Structure 1
Amino acid sequence: MTRLFDEKLRPFELTINQYSLLTALILGGPTTMNDLAERLGVERTTLTRNLALVSDRRLVTVTPGKDGRERDVTLTPKGWAAAKAALPAWKAAQAEASAD
């Protein structure tokens, strides 16, 4: 299943994990890394790897949180545009997965 979504999202230079991260920020707004990991149901180390990739592309920003131990994650306009552009590919993958 992951392979199908990754294949459809490849032209947008996103994996399903990265796309899910972007959409979680669209739906839930800016949040801490801990809360985002919980929302996505992933380990913080997994989230850190995916955040590094999308942060390098300036799709999200990661900034120090209130207490210095936490990091805040915010979707950038470029990230919102990337998720929007990839939505038809995600829908196509969803339809194909549902048909199987």
Structure 2
Amino acid sequence: MEPIMRKSFTTTRRKEQTRTQFRRRRRTVDVAYIPRVCPAYNLAKAYKTVIRNFEEEFRPIGVSPTQFGILVHVAISEPVTAALLAEQLGSDPSTVSRNMESVITRGFVNSRTGKDRRERVYSLTEDGRTVLESAVPAWKSASRRALGGMRKSAWDVVLRDLRTLSN
């Protein structure tokens, strides 16, 4: 019969000391400041608050903030290619293609093949123009609510800085 192998007391104690040291180190790491300064956290938190306002305002019209943004950019640049639309929206072409499905299905946007068979070109339909026009007052209201009591000069600075971040 082979003897039973036991871990030595010192090995077990060393592991326990290492765990304790790790716990102590972990407790001393100051992370409380991170939510106050983290760009990702603060931008995401602001985005969620703002988007909620826009969703509430657009709900009676039956469009989402994403669909409204698409309609605006198609109206500005029509006829517009998927590649240019993706650039304007800050998205990749596959995301734009996926998001376009809902506005095309609802009859707000026409889609056709461009010069190259792989290229898609979009333009607004009459229904799309009507929905866009009816959504502008909701957009104005949501914008006012989202900015709350922020002064215009303060918003101008924030907007300039956001554009710097996104370029």
TM-score tier, shorter chain, comes to over 0.9
AA of the residue aligned to 1:40:
L
Q: Is the 8 A contact 2:75 2:123 kept in 1?
A: no
Deviations 1:37-81 (A, max 9, x none): 111111222212221000001100111111101111111111011
Higher Cα Rg, which structure: 2
* 1:2 equivalent in structure 2: 51
* 1:46 equivalent in structure 2: 95
CA distance in 2 between counterparts of 1:52 and 1:19 reads: 14
Match of 2:84 among 35, 49, 59: 35
Runs ≥4 residues deviating over 3 A? none
User: Where do residues 59-98 of structure 1 align in structure 2 (5 Å cutoff)?
Assistant: 59-98=108-147
User: Where do residues 18-29 of structure 1 align in structure 2 (5 Å cutoff)?
Assistant: 18-29=67-78
Q: How many residues align?
A: 100
Answer 1 or 2: higher relative contact order, Cα 8 Å, separation at least 6: 1
| Unmatched tracts of structure 1, length 5 or more | none
| Unmatched tracts of structure 2, length 5 or more | 1-49, 150-167
- Aligned Cα root-mean-square deviation (Å): 1.1
TM-score (norm 1): 0.93
AA of the residue aligned to 1:81:
T
Per residue, is there more strand in 1 or in 2?
1
* Residue aligned with 1:73, SS: strand
Query: Aligned residues: percent identity?
Result: 36
